[in-house]
Amino acid sequence: MADIPNQMSPGQFTTPKRPLTWLITGCSSGLGLAIARLVQEQGHFVVASSRDPSKTPALVAEIEGDNKSTGLWIQLDVTDLNSGDVVERLESERGIQIDVLVSNAGASIHSVVESFTEDEARRQMDILYFGPFRLIRAAVPRMRRRGFGIVVNISTGAALEGRESMGTYASGKAAADALVKVLAKEVAAFNIRTLTVHLGTFNTNMPKAAIAGANAIPACYQDSIAAKTIQVMSEGVLAARGDANKAAMQIVDVAMGQGAGAGHEGEFFLPLGEEMPARIKLVRDRLDHCLQVYGAVCTDVKLDKAG
């Protein structure tokens, strides 16, 4: 198989010269809300969603306005097995065709790997992997038939290098990242592009929404980084280093191929957060080190040619 670059040719993607329709999950606060507000300000139509819109009536009223001409707020639980049906309903009942899908909804459970329950692991995968998968599976065929689409996957630096206490969170995000990597290669020929955003820490509701696992961790972990992280996350006091509104601006610009994204429409990844350069370098250095140590072994296992 030929080597596949980490980007597609920017010239192979075109964007319609019209307002786009965005479906964004997890809009009740934080980054999802910031993206929804920004794209609406830029003249696009927003379908914002949350699990329980009744909890945020003021936000619903803000996005929908007086006549829902520039925005709509819908109830959407991405863990629902039928959550992908929302794409069909929007199209058949309201004539709304999704141009940009932003999978932002998330939640985190913290423990050491050996102490997570099966239900906790499955819950994380349902939110972080199966939720985006269901919406992608529903939206992409329609994007493909129309000859345009953008899939934005909101991920985390923890999916790149792993973080103590984040075994199920990091793996759920990493699974979605891998899904979108493959998707990008499969759908580029249909003028559908993808963007995975690897985030550092931002001033969102994520720390306050984080919970500790149901099982107490073994005593031998009590002084570990994992234990300290669990305490910080369960107390909701993680110190944010990034501004969600600034992050939203960069995400929208890069997704749309404007601002920092102009001429870079073929890029797969967007790291955001001042911690991210060091985290990316750590992953790169580990892989380089692995090749230095095992390079000869790696290539010394080829099948011998028959005599």
Please identify every residue annotated as catalytic. Answer: 155, 169, 173
Task: Pull the structure tokens for residue 188.
Answer: 């580029």
Task: Check if the beta carbon of residue 238 is closer than 8 Å to that of residue 232.
Answer: yes
Long-range contacts of 117-121 (CB under 8 A, 24+ apart): 117/213, 117/214, 117/215, 120/168, 120/213, 120/214, 121/168
Instruction: Classify residue 42 by burial, with Cβ atoms within 10 Å: 0-12, 13-18, 19+.
Output: middle
Q: Which amino acid is at 51?
A: R
Coil vs helix vs strand at 285: helix
What secondary structure letter does DSSP report for 13?
A: -
What secondary structure letter does DSSP report for 128?
A: I
Place of tokens 């803000």: 62
Name the pairing type of β-strands 109-110 and 211-212.
Answer: parallel
Cα→Cα distances 84→35, 40, 72, 138, 187, Å: 21, 23, 17, 5, 19
